[in-house]
């Protein structure tokens, strides 16, 4: 599908999809774009079990992409194994930087200290760009409540840069909705959630929340940086088009 056609189709569906439940959104996305044509991208972080569980009930073999930055906490990697096994997900794909780029860009594994933007670009953004080749769309767990940079996320967007449909089924869910879903379905929490980590990314760039902090305040502490770059340019570009 050409980018122009994607924009038209998103415009046609956007209002109706904003009121769908996340489960209906996932089902509609698969029905619209085709099985195996839309990938769920998951960080296996503190909220990830919600979408993964929903997907396991709709299509357990759906592609699920995990960006393996090589800097994940051991707890995250164990959580991934546990959830994949428990939910019966069979479409998991681990994507990581290729060895040649790693050697050229980050020979001492310290790029995250020298230039975290470049590190995220190489270990997340470019890896996702490659992993999503061949898909029509991707699903993310972004929610409006997470930060001021995410407070205009829509359920249905166009990822202009990648020429993909982007679906955010939980865009309008609250923190309480997430908690209730995890409890109602008896889903395991990320092991670090009980240690004050509200958002879990790579270990060099993630700290627990301090008193009074919320959301993603523990990520890239002490730096201007708030996002890894996977999402941040899209809303602006999207508004320009729609």
Q: Are 43 and 143 in contact (CB under 8 A)?
A: no
Other beta carbons less than 10 A from residue 19's beta carbon: 10
112 binds ligand SF4 (CB under 6 A): yes
Strands (E), the chain: 38-41, 64-67, 92-95, 137-139, 156-159, 164-167
Asked if residue 121 lies in contact with residue 229, where contact means CB atoms within 8 angstroms, the answer is: yes
- Catalytic: which of 119, 202, 205, 228? 228
Q: Select from 25, 56, 69, 146 the one that contacts ligand SF4 (CB under 6 A).
A: 69
**Cβ-based nearer residue to ligand SF4, 28 or 69:** 69
Spatial CA neighbour of 101 closest among 114, 77, 118, 116: 118
Nearest 10 degrees: Cα torsion 223, 225, 226, 229: -160
- Residue 164 has what DSSP assignment? E
Q: Which stretch binds ligand SF4 (CB under 6 A): 4-12, 53-61, 155-163, 198-206?
A: 198-206
Three-state SS for 72? strand
Q: Please, what is the minimum distance in Å from the beta carbon of residue 127 to ligand SF4?
A: 9
Q: How far is the CB of 69 from ligand SF4 (least distance, A)?
A: 5
216 contacts ligand SF4 (rule: CB under 6 A):
no
Does 228 bind ligand SF4 (CB under 6 A)? Our answer is yes
Residue 116 found at the interface with ligand SF4 (CB under 6 A): yes
Q: Check binding of 73 to ligand SF4 (CB under 6 A).
A: no
DSSP H or E segment with residue 199: none
Closest CA to 62 of 96, 87, 79, 38: 38
Cross-strand bridge partners of residue 202? 72
Phi, psi values for residue 145, rounded to 5°: -70, -10
Pick one of 60, 204, 208, 235: the residue that binds ligand SF4 (CB under 6 A): 204
Note the Cα 103 to chain centre separation in Å: 26
**Beta carbon nearer to ligand SF4, 45 or 201:** 201
Q: Which stretch binds ligand SF4 (CB under 6 A): 95-103, 114-122, 157-165, 231-239?
A: 114-122
* Catalytic (active site) residue 228: yes
Q: Does 131 bind ligand SF4 (CB under 6 A)?
A: no
The nearest distance, CB 232 to ligand SF4, in angstroms, is: 13
Considering the rule CB under 6 A, would residue 119 count as an interface residue with ligand SF4? Answer: yes
According to CB under 6 A, which one of 202, 218, 234, 238 is a site residue for ligand SF4? 202
The catalytic site residues sit at 228
Which residues form the interface with ligand SF4 (CB under 6 A)?
Answer: 69, 71, 112, 116, 119-120, 123-124, 201-202, 204-205, 228
């Amino acid at each position: 599908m050409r980018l122009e056609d994607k924009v038209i189709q998103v415009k046609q569906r956007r209002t109706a999809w904003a009121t769908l439940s996340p489960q209906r959104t996932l089902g509609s996305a698969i029905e619209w774009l085709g099985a195996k044509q839309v990938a769920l991208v998951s960080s296996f972080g503190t909220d990830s079990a919600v979408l993964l569980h929903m997907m396991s009930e709709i299509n357990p073999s759906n592609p699920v992409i995990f960006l393996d930055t090589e800097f994940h906490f051991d707890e995250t990697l164990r959580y991934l194994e546990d959830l994949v096994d428990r939910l019966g997900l069979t479409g998991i794909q681990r994507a990581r930087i290729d060895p040649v780029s790693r050697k050229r860009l980050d020979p001492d594994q310290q790029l995250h200290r020298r230039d975290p933007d470049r590190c995220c670009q190489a270990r997340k953004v470019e890896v996702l760009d490659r992993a999503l080749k061949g898909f029509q769309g991707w699903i993310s767990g972004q929610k409006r409540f997470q930060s001021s940079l995410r407070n205009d996320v829509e359920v249905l967007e166009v990822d202009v840069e990648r020429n993909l449909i982007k679906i955010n089924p939980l865009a309008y869910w609250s923190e309480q909705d997430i908690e209730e879903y995890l409890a109602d379905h008896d889903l395991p929490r990320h092991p670090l959630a009980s240690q004050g980590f509200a958002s879990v990314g790579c270990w060099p760039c993630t700290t627990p929340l301090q008193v009074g902090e919320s959301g993603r305040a523990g990520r890239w502490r002490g730096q201007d940086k708030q996002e890894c770059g996977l999402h941040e340019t899209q809303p602006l570009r999207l508004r320009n088009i729609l």
